[in-house]
Amino acid sequence: MAFWRTQQGAGISLIMLATLAFAVLDTVTKHVVTLVPVLMLLWFRYVFQAVLTLVLRFPVQQRSLFSTPNPRFQTLRGVLLLITSGCSFFGLRYLPVGEFTAMVMLSPLVATAMAAWVLKDHVSHRRWLLMTCGLVGVLLVVRPGGQVFGWALLFPVLLVTSYGWFQVLTSRLSSEENPYTTHFYTGLVGAVVMSPIVIFSWNTAALLSYWPWFVLVGFLGTFGHLMLIRAYARASAPVLTPYLYSQIAFATLAGWMVFQHVPDALAWLGIAVIAASGVGNAVLSAHEVAKQRRPATAA
What tens digit of pLDDT does each residue of 275-297 get? 777 677 667 766 666 666 665 55
What is the C-alpha to C-alpha distance for residues 217 and 22, in angstroms, rounded to an integer? 10
pLDDT attached to residue 293: 61
Of 61, 53, 84, 260, whose CA–CA distance to 170 is shortest?
84
CA nearest 31: which of 292, 291, 254, 271?
Answer: 254
Region at 260 (left for phi over 0; alpha for psi -120 to 50; beta for the rest)? left
Q: What CA–CA distances, in Å, run from 227 to 42, 195, 219, 222?
A: 20, 27, 12, 9
Lowest average pLDDT, out of 6-15, 163-172, 205-214, goes to: 163-172
Three-class SS string for 16-44? HHHHHHHHHHHHHHHHHCCCCCHHHHHHH
Mean pLDDT of 147-152: 62
Contact 101, 26 (CB under 8 A): yes
Q: 0.85 cut: is pTM over it? A: no
- What are the residue ranges spanned by the domains of the chain? 3-298
Range of lowest pLDDT (35-49, 152-166, 178-192, 265-279): 265-279
Q: Is the pLDDT of residue 299 over 50?
A: no
Mean pLDDT, rounded, for 84-110: 81
| Position 197 pLDDT exceeds 90 | yes
Mean pLDDT of the chain, nearest integer: 80
Residues 138 and 36: their CA atoms lie apart, in Å, by 30
Nearest by Cα to 6 from 241, 239, 298: 239
What pLDDT does residue 83 have? Answer: 94
